[in-house]
């Protein structure tokens, strides 16, 4: 088990590089991976099952203790990122499929990798975990609605289909994970060290499938899509912090809200784009999977050197959510 924990830690630390290399392999042999598109939702369901297994009752205490910061963060998550995604798609003149993909990744909930980044940045880890959880639980309602409102001008949007897919990919696995933790806690405790490795493996395979299925588009407009994703993530981080600062929340909470807003569950977005649009529409999500881990790590390193005391309990400091996710 200690060996597994060490392997998971190494894989999590080098996640971004692993995904870049995997994407390069898929680009060289796209036909090998493109056929795997039907497996993408199942891969994400496994990752969300792991998220459900890591949740504890204490993760929801912040809802009662600091509801204002939580509501502010979740509202920013679902307002800032979808609008930035739409705006960049229009300004950069992206194709309809790529534009829909930008809106979709912007309308996704927060990803669990953000919890690790907030912890490393000496931010409010408890708030980060609560924001990820609440935004994920709201995703079946808010994500289809936002995609319908903002992306329907680019491609036809089946909001009902998106709702069903999110329930199947996100809510059902999380509920199963919660039940497993409640009914067989000893089994879950044995599984926890393997979850980061499972998560990284799942996201890596998703990226390879998406890159394989959209290789022609990536080769023709790759730099433009990369620019769009970098701007999307960067503006999300900046505006998330700015909104939190304007509302006078604590510095640790500002860091948490910034990272939560800027880092998306791009794996979920890729799965939804592949299932309901096309692999090309999933391309922004695949690139986002790599870049937001790079930018989040850089920002966490910068903030950790600046100091600040995170508003978390001792237990939160010792046990941050450590499941890398896109």
Q: Tell me, what's the pLDDT at 5?
A: 67
Q: Of 78-92, 205-219, 299-313, which has the strongest mean pLDDT?
A: 78-92
Please, which pLDDT band fits residue 59 given cuts at 50, 70 and 90? low
Which of 17-31, 141-155, 296-310, 311-325 bottoms out in mean pLDDT, i.e. has the lowest? 311-325
Does the pLDDT of residue 209 top 60, yes or no? yes
Which sequence spans correspond to the domains of the chain? 32-301
CA distances from 136 to 17, 28, 207, 209, 279 (A): 26, 34, 21, 24, 23
CATH of domain 32-301: 1.20.1530.20
Does the pLDDT of residue 319 top 50, yes or no? no
Q: Tell me, what's the pLDDT at 12?
A: 63
Q: Pick the residue with more confidence: 63 or 292?
A: 292
Does the pLDDT of residue 63 top 60, yes or no? yes
Q: Tell me, what's the pLDDT at 325?
A: 44
From the list 255, 266, 133, 146, the residue with the least C-alpha distance to 206 is 266
From the list 82, 190, 95, 74, the residue with the least C-alpha distance to 143 is 82
Q: Tell me, what's the pLDDT at 2?
A: 64
Q: Pick the residue with more confidence: 322 or 142?
A: 142
- φ/ψ (deg, to 5) at 264: -110, 160
pLDDT tens digits along 169-186: 888 988 898 888 888 888
Over residues 35-52, the mean pLDDT reads 82
Q: Tell me, what's the pLDDT at 242?
A: 95
Over residues 112-122, the mean pLDDT reads 79
Over residues 2-17, the mean pLDDT reads 70
Rounded to whole angstroms, the Cα distance separating 199 from 206 reads 11
Contact in structure between 52 and 178 (CB atoms under 8 Å): yes
Contact in structure between 282 and 210 (CB atoms under 8 Å): yes
Q: Tell me, what's the pLDDT at 280?
A: 87
């Amino acid at each position: 088990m200690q060996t597994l924990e060490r392997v998971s830690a190494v894989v999590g630390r080098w996640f971004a590089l692993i995904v870049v290399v995997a994407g390069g392999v898929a680009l060289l042999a796209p036909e090998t991976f493109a056929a795997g598109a039907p497996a993408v939702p199942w891969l994400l369901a496994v990752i969300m099952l792991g998220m459900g297994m890591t949740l504890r009752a204490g993760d929801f205490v912040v809802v009662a203790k600091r509801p204002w910061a939580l509501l502010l963060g979740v509202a920013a998550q679902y307002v800032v990122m979808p609008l930035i995604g739409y705006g960049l798609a229009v300004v950069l003149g992206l194709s309809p499929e790529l534009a829909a993909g930008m809106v979709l990744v912007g309308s996704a909930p927060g990803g669990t990798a953000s919890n690790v980044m907030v912890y490393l940045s000496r931010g409010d880890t408890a708030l980060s975990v609560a924001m990820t959880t609440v935004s994920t639980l709201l995703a079946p309602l808010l994500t289809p609605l936002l995609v319908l409102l903002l992306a329907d001008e680019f491609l036809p949007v089946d909001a009902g289909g998106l709702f069903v897919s999110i329930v199947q990919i996100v809510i059902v696995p999380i509920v199963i994970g919660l039940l497993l933790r409640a009914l067989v806690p000893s089994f879950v405790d044995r599984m926890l060290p393997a979850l980061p490795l499972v998560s990284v493996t799942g996201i890596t395979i998703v990226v390879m499938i998406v890159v394989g299925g959209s290789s022609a588009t990536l080769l023709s407009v790759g730099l433009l899509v990369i620019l769009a994703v970098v701007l999307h993530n960067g503006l999300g981080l900046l505006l998330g912090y700015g909104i939190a600062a304007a509302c006078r929340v604590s510095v640790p909470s500002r860091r948490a809200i910034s990272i939560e807003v800027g880092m998306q569950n791009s794996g979920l977005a890729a799965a939804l784009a592949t299932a309901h649009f096309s692999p090309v529409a999933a391309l922004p999500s695949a690139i986002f999977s790599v870049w937001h881990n790079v930018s989040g790590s850089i920002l966490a390193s910068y903030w950790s050197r600046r100091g600040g005391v995170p508003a978390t309990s001792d237990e939160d400091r010792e046990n941050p959510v450590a499941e890398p996710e896109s």
